[in-house]
């Protein structure tokens, strides 16, 4: 006998993500899901971003990694709330699922936050498939990965709201033309906002900081 | 490699359906899933996970049928709808970037078949995973 189902395979994940989103909406917290391949500079971007937001808003961070608490300790020096999720407990998962976030979100002092940045597990494929309850998906690509990343991993670039192109200070050494990267991103997703920056030198950060500030303000209804 | 969690979710959805209909399980003969070209799922990997994780359960030996949905976009300017082979989001007719994705992100369990003659099974192995 054939039985009709028609249920989305990740419906349970989506449902949990929407519950998390509802909690964050009620608290007026803007939440960012930051995704990229390993080594693109997500944590270094955070280390440069957080000091520029402190005093203007209250920031909390969720760090996702397969193993170790190295990234959380890099953020803890700013004395802001940090939660480290290590997915090896879940079989070395390649992404953060909605449930992993939902299980730990209350470890952050939600009544005292305006912004939560989730640094997803370094991976350009799997995190694209799993909603976690964030307001915005941010994809980071760095020049050292080569300019073709958007063409090779299109799904994540189509899903994201903004792309941070990191390590632009290396453009000359790597002989990469930023217009090539811009063109490749636009081929995959012409509507994707792009910010070119360097977490090492701090170049290009004002645009990124403004983007965050605008969104936090909008979420608060200001 | 997130195909294993997708396979496990397929099992969960079918088990829930069977539990709701029969308060128990039957061996599953065939499962049909629909996967969009842009759903970040590798069909071969998903089939491998389905077969491996299904061993010793009601899904043991079940035929895995995967229907792939092509990526389609609709141009908001010239109103043309088209299937695309490459994931570049622009209209192939008028070259506008003002396009919407119509299909290609599907990921759902369509249908499954059970072997009713085998009799009802009360609990399945790994059913609480």
Q: The CATH number of the domain where A144 resides is what?
A: 3.40.50.300
pLDDT tops 90 at residue A65: no
Looking at the domain assignment, is residue A37 inside a domain? yes
**A54: region left, alpha or beta (phi > 0 left; psi from -120 to 50 alpha):** beta
Question: How many angstroms separate the CA of residue A213 from the nearest CA in chain B?
Answer: 28
Query: What share of chain A has pLDDT > 70, as a percent?
Result: 98
pLDDT at B124 over 90: no
**Which CATH class name applies to B3-70+103-115?**
alpha beta
Residue range(s) defining the domain that contains residue A35: 28-219
Mean pLDDT of A17-21: 97
Q: Taking residues A107-128, what's their average pLDDT?
A: 94
Residues in chain A: 222
As a whole number, mean pLDDT of residues A158-183 equals 97
Q: Which of B103, B109, B118 to mutate to test the interface with A (most CBs of A within 10 A)?
A: B109
Select from B17, B35, B88 the residue whose CB has the most chain A CBs within 10 Å, as the one to mutate to test that interface.
B88
| In-domain check, residue A40 | yes
Q: What is the DSSP string of B43-99?
A: HHHHHHHHHHHHTTSTTTT-EEEEEEEPEEEEETTT--EEEESS---S-TTT--S-E
- pLDDT class of A92 with cuts at 50, 70, 90: low
Quick check: is A134 in a domain?
Answer: yes
Q: Between A130 and A66, where is the model more confident?
A: A130
CB contact under 8 A, B40 and A187: no
The answer to whether B89 contacts A4, with C-beta atoms less than 8 Å apart, is no
Contact of A163 with A137, CB cutoff 8 Å: no
Per-residue model confidence (pLDDT) at position A90: 53
The mean pLDDT value of chain A amounts to 94
Is A93's Cβ below 8 Å from some Cβ in B? yes
Please check whether residue A22 lies inside any domain of the structure: no
Cβ–Cβ of B87/A154 closer than 8 Å?
yes
* Integer Cα distance of B85 and A43 in angstroms: 35
Rounded CA gap, A142 and A149, in Å?
Answer: 9
**Helix, strand, coil content of chain B in percent (nearest 5):** 25, 30, 40
The pLDDT of residue A206: 97
Q: Any idea where the domains of chain B sit in the sequence?
A: 3-70+103-115
Q: What is the ipTM of this complex?
A: 0.84
The two three-digit tokens of residue A97, written as one number = 């699922």
The residue assigned the tokens 């939600």 is A110
Is A53 inside any structural domain?
yes
- Residues above pLDDT 90, as percent of chain A: 84
Confidence bin at A94 (pLDDT 50/70/90): confident
The count of CB pairs under 8 A between chains A and B is: 86
Q: Give A95's contacts (C-beta < 8 A, 6+ positions apart).
A: A64, A87, A120, A121, A123, A126, A127, A129, A130, B2
Angle formed at CA A115 by CA A207 and CA A182, multiple of 5 degrees:
30
In a domain, A67, yes or no: yes
Q: pLDDT tens for residues B66-117?
A: 999 999 999 999 999 999 999 899 999 999 999 999 999 999 999 999 999 9
Indicate if the pLDDT at residue A15 is higher than 70.
Answer: yes
Domains contained in chain A, number: 1
Interchain contact, A4 vs B114, CB within 8 Å: no
> Would residue A173 count as lying in a domain?
yes
A13 in a structural domain: no
Strand order in the sheet with A162-166: A82-86, A59-65, A115-119, A30-36, A136-142, A162-166, A193-196
Confidence category of residue A71, pLDDT binned at 50, 70, 90: confident
């Amino acid at each position: 006998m054939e039985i009709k189902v028609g249920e989305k395979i990740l419906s349970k994940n989506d449902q949990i993500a929407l519950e998390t989103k509802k909690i964050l909406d009620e608290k007026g917290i803007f939440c960012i899901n930051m995704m990229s391949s390993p080594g693109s500079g997500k944590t270094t971007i955070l280390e440069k971003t957080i000091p520029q937001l402190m005093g203007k808003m209250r920031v909390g961070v969720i760090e996702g990694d397969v193993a170790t608490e190295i990234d959380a300790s890099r953020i803890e020096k700013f004395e802001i709330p940090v939660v480290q999720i290590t997915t090896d407990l879940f079989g070395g998962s390649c992404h953060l699922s909605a449930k992993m976030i939902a299980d730990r979100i209350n470890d952050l002092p939600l009544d005292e936050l305006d912004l939560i940045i989730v640094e997803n597990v370094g991976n350009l494929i799997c995190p694209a498939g799993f909603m976690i309850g964030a307001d915005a998906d941010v994809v980071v690509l760095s020049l050292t990965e080569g300019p073709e990343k958007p063409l090779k991993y299109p799904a994540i670039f189509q899903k994201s709201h903004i792309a941070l192109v990191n390590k632009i200070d290396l453009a000359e050494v790597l002989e990469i033309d930023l217009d090539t990267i811009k063109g490749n991103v636009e081929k995959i997703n012409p509507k994707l906002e792009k910010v070119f920056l360097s977490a090492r030198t701090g170049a290009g950060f004002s645009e990124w900081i403004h983007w965050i500030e605008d969104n936090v303000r909008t979420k608060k209804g200001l | 490699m997130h195909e294993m969690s997708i396979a496990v979710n397929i099992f969960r959805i079918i088990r829930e359906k069977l539990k709701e209909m029969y308060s128990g399980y039957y061996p599953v003969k065939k499962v049909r899933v629909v996967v969009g070209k842009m759903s970040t799922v590798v069909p071969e990997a998903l089939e491998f996970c389905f077969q491996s994780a299904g061993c010793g359960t009601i899904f043991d030996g079940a035929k895995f049928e995967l229907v792939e949905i092509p990526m389609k976009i609709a141009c908001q300017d010239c109103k043309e709808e088209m299937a695309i082979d490459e994931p570049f989001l622009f209209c192939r007719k008028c070259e506008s970037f003002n396009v919407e994705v119509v299909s290609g992100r599907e990921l759902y369990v369509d249908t499954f078949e059970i072997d009713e003659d085998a009799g009802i099974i009360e609990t399945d192995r790994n059913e609480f995973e």
